[in-house]
A = this chain, B = another copy of it.
Amino acid sequence: MTSRIVEVRRDVLKKNDLLARELRRRFDAAGVFVVSLVSSPGSGKTTLLEHTLRALAPRARVAALVGDLATERDADRLRRAGVPVRQITTGTVCHLDAEMVGTALAGWDLASLDFVFIENVGNLVCPSSYDLGEHLRVVLLSVTEGEDKPLKYPTIFNTADIAVITKNDLATAADFNRAEALRNIDELRPGLEVLEVSARTGAGMSSWVQRLELTRATQVTSAATVDHG
Binding site for B on A (CB under 8 A): 1, 4-5, 8, 11-12, 15, 40-43, 68-71, 73-74, 92, 94, 121-126, 128-129, 142, 144-146, 148-149, 151-155, 167, 170, 173-174
Q: Is the CB of A126 within 8 A of B94?
A: yes
Residue of B nearest to A42 (CB): B145
- Do A71 and B148 contact each other (CB < 8 Å), given the known contacts A4-B8, A8-B8? yes
Please tell me which one of the listed residues B15, B125, B170 contacts residue A69 in the complex, with CB atoms under 8 A apart.
Answer: B125
Q: Is the CB of B151 within 8 A of A73?
A: yes
- Do A69 and B155 contact each other (CB < 8 Å), given the known contacts A8-B5, A41-B145, A149-B42? yes
User: Which residues of chain B come closer than 8 Å to A8, judged between CB atoms?
Assistant: 4-5, 8
Q: Is the CB of B126 within 8 A of A42?
A: no
For residue A4, give the distance in angstroms from its CB to the closest CB of chain B.
Answer: 6
- Cα of A59 to Cα of B121 in the assembled complex, Å: 42
Residue of B nearest to A146 (CB): B42
- Do A42 and B154 contact each other (CB < 8 Å), given the known contacts A8-B5, A8-B8, A174-B170? no
For residue A205, give the distance in angstroms from its CB to the closest CB of chain B.
Answer: 18
Q: Is the CB of B155 within 8 A of A92?
A: yes
Q: Is the CB of A69 within 8 A of B153?
A: yes
For residue A45, give the distance in angstroms from its CB to the closest CB of chain B.
Answer: 10
- Cα of A146 to Cα of B126 in the assembled complex, Å: 21
User: Which residue of A94, A142, A154 has the most chain B CB atoms within 10 A of its CB atom?
Assistant: A94
Q: Is the CB of A125 within 8 A of B126?
A: yes
